Chains A and B, each alone.
Chain A
């Protein structure tokens, strides 16, 4: 079974802090994604990566950056946390892009609260 592990289940940070969310997958997947999930909204893509050191902006990249130095690890960085970044953050991975039927495998999520 694919396992996607997010380093923290719950985080509380202060406004202005730099925040790191870590995600590791163990199935040699090429693609990795960071989403945020808010009540009443669909999953919104922040950033994704289709290869080591490659990154692409999603729908809502403002205020975030990412790093993918190794294939199995994809980090999300909040450069200066703000209260509107309070949300559930979900990491996901999938096989290479031409496998259209390849589903996303999600981590258990990190619930971030910025005060």
Chain B
């Protein structure tokens, strides 16, 4: 069946590095997305991976291993504004995205 797993909640310290993992089992794969969602706001796009490896975009990087059904989002030099939920989603076919429940990241000073 289809399944995407992420930790429910993580806590990290301002200025540190945090890695948010996502494992997936889907019947098809046309790429994996990461979104950020601040409380009460809409999700916003962070990254897309379709090939194995690391994609770096400023303080945020995303990694994909298709053979392991695994991705992670790496956040460096954490800032208080990074406190948010991070959503992992797999594009299974042409339209459908399968979503994880999201990881709530709490940043402490």
**Interface set of A (CB-CB < 8 Å, partner B):** 4, 31, 40-45, 48, 50, 56, 58, 90, 97-98, 100-101, 103-109
5 tightest Cβ-Cβ pairs between the two chains A and B: A42-B99, A106-B42, A103-B45, A97-B94, A43-B99
Contact A104 B45 (CB under 8 A): yes
Contact between A42 and B42, CB atoms less than 8 A apart: no
B42 pairs with A43, CB closer than 8 A: no
Residues of B within 8 A of A44 (CB): 99
9 contacts between A and B (CB under 8 A): A41-B101, A42-B99, A44-B99, A56-B95, A58-B96, A98-B94, A100-B50, A101-B48, A103-B33
User: Which residues of the other chain, B, contact A90 by a CB distance below 8 angstroms?
Assistant: 42-43
Please give the number of chain B residues whose Cβ is less than 8 angstroms from any Cβ of chain A in the complex. 25
* B30 contacts A100, C-beta separation under 8 Å: yes
Chain B residues with CB under 8 A of A31:
95
Is B91's beta carbon under 8 Å from chain A? yes
Q: Is the CB of A108 within 8 A of B99?
A: no
Please name all residues of chain A whose beta carbon is closer than 8 Å to the beta carbon of B89 when the two chains form the complex.
42-43
- A108 and B95 contact, CB distance less than 8 A: no
List the B side residues contacting A45 at CB < 8 Å: 96-97
Smallest CB separation, A112 vs chain B (Å): 14
Given contacts A48-B95, A97-B94, A100-B30, contact A108 B41 (CB under 8 A): yes
Given contacts A40-B101, A90-B42, A108-B41, contact A101 B95 (CB under 8 A): no
Contact A106:B43 (CB < 8 A) given known A43-B99, A45-B96, A48-B95: yes
Given known contacts A31-B95, A103-B48, is B4 in contact with A42 (CB within 8 Å)?
Answer: yes
